[in-house]
Amino acid sequence: MDTGANQYQTAIAADNHSGMTSCEWKIKDKQAEVYNHTASELKELQQNQEVIVQLDHDENKWAVAVVVKTLDEQKLRHYTVQTEKGCHNQ
C-alpha cells in the first residue's frame, strides 16, 4: 500500500537534480535571475583587434595582444592571440 509519505518521497525524488529539492532549484533560479539582471552579450572579437589578456591567473599578470585567429566554431569565444612573447590560445 502506497502511503502519502511514500508519494511525497517519490515526488521529491522525481524533482531531485544533484540532490536538490524543487524548492532549492527555485531559489537557485531566482539567484541566477538577480545575478544576470544587468548582464549583456559580449561582442565577438575580430581578427587583428587589440585586446588585453590575463596571462597568469595566479599572479594577476596582464598583457596587450592582437587577435590572430578565431577558434569559435561552436560560439565558445575561443581565440588565438599574439603577444610580444608569442601566440596563446584564450
pTM over 0.85: no
Q: How many CB atoms lie within 10 A of CB 65?
A: 22
10-residue mean pLDDT profile of the chain (90 residues): values are 47 56 88 88 88 85 89 75 76
Residue 16, pLDDT score: 47
Q: Give the CA angle between residues 52, 57, 53 to the nearest 5°.
A: 10
Amino acid at 42: L
Residue 8, pLDDT score: 47
Sheet holding 79-83, edge to edge: 50-56, 61-70, 79-83, 86-89
Residue 81, pLDDT score: 87
Q: Looking at the DSSP assignment, which residues form a beta bridge with residue 63? A: 53
For cell 531566482, what's the residue? 30
- Domains of the chain, residue spans: 4-35, 50-89
Residue 57, pLDDT score: 78
